[in-house]
Amino acid sequence: MRVGEGAGVASEFECVMDNAVQQVEFEHGEVLFMQGQTNAHLYAVSEGVVKLCTHYSDGREQIVGLCGPERMLAGLQSLNDDHHAYSAIASTKVKACRINHRTLLARVCDKGDLPIRLIKAVNSQLAHSRALTEVLGHTCAAAKIASFILLMIPKSEHGNCGFLLPFSRMEMASLLGLSEETVCRIMAQMHRQGAIDAPRGRMEIRDWDQLHAIADSNGKGRLTA
């Protein structure tokens, strides 16, 4: 991890947090914090994607959420706890603001606009959680995968576009409750039918209408073998 000293911080908390905020960077695979670690900081991600994971005693890792720009603050769920209930790991190169959460709570009492900013952050997190719940609620594996791809598309993208999909097939399977084989098979079908292309960790949308139709199908046969 590297601590940056540049002036530009994407997080809107910088102007009210003073020395309680640091710019930090993480490379792919680096840990922001681990499950069970003492809870000292929140992270406002300005670039990249962070996966939130629960680790089990048998070594299994379950992805329980995603964190990226405008989505949520990593660590917010554990704000009132002494220890983190999950781990946060960089799925791509990540730039973020590391915020001392005790200072944050103390400043809420004397900064009139800070509670509103926190409410907005919580609402953003809830909206993302609801969207992810809708993805997981699909009974059709193809609809789950198509909906997840659409959820991951950066807001700025439009038309036929390429973007980084910062998860392996195995990680997607873990998150969506599917087998890795099923994820690979269905994405291969989507590729053959011209909906997507996924070259070396990137995702390219080739046919938006078809991808949305698969996401909305929920078992109504939009994919062929």
| Model confidence band, residue 127 (pLDDT cutoffs 50, 70, 90) | low
Nearest in space to 11 (alpha carbons), one of 126, 149, 87, 124? 124
Question: Stretch 12-31: mean pLDDT, rounded?
Answer: 73
Does the pLDDT of residue 7 top 60, yes or no?
Answer: no
Q: Report pLDDT for 93.
A: 93
Q: Which CATH number fits domain 2-115: 3.90.650.10, 3.40.190.10, 3.40.50.300, 2.60.120.10?
A: 2.60.120.10
Residues 57, 48: Cα–Cα separation, whole Å = 29
CATH 2.60.120.10 range(s) for the chain read 2-115
User: When comparing pLDDT for 139 and 29, which is higher?
Assistant: 29
**What's the pLDDT tens digit per position in 175-221?**
888 999 999 999 999 999 999 998 777 888 989 899 999 988 765 54
Residues 105, 40: Cα–Cα separation, whole Å = 12
User: When comparing pLDDT for 217 and 156, which is higher?
Assistant: 217
Q: Report pLDDT for 142.
A: 92
Residue with tokens 């809708």: 134
Q: Report pLDDT for 41.
A: 86
Residues 142, 140: Cα–Cα separation, whole Å = 6
**How big is the chain by its Cα radius of gyration, in Å?**
19
Nearest in space to 39 (alpha carbons), one of 113, 125, 101, 131? 101
User: When comparing pLDDT for 92 and 16, which is higher?
Assistant: 92
CATH 1.10.10.10 range(s) for the chain read 135-217
Does the pLDDT of residue 111 top 80, yes or no?
Answer: no
| Model confidence band, residue 223 (pLDDT cutoffs 50, 70, 90) | low
Q: Does residue 164 contact residue 191 with C-beta atoms inside 8 Å?
A: no
Q: Report pLDDT for 38.
A: 87
The reported pTM is 0.61
Does the pLDDT of residue 130 top 80, yes or no?
Answer: no
| CATH top class, domain 135-217 | mainly alpha
**What's the pLDDT tens digit per position in 30-76?**
999 999 888 888 888 888 989 988 887 777 787 878 888 866 677 77
Mean pLDDT across the chain: 76
Does the pLDDT of residue 155 top 70, yes or no?
Answer: no
Does the pLDDT of residue 6 top 50, yes or no?
Answer: no
Q: Report pLDDT for 94.
A: 94
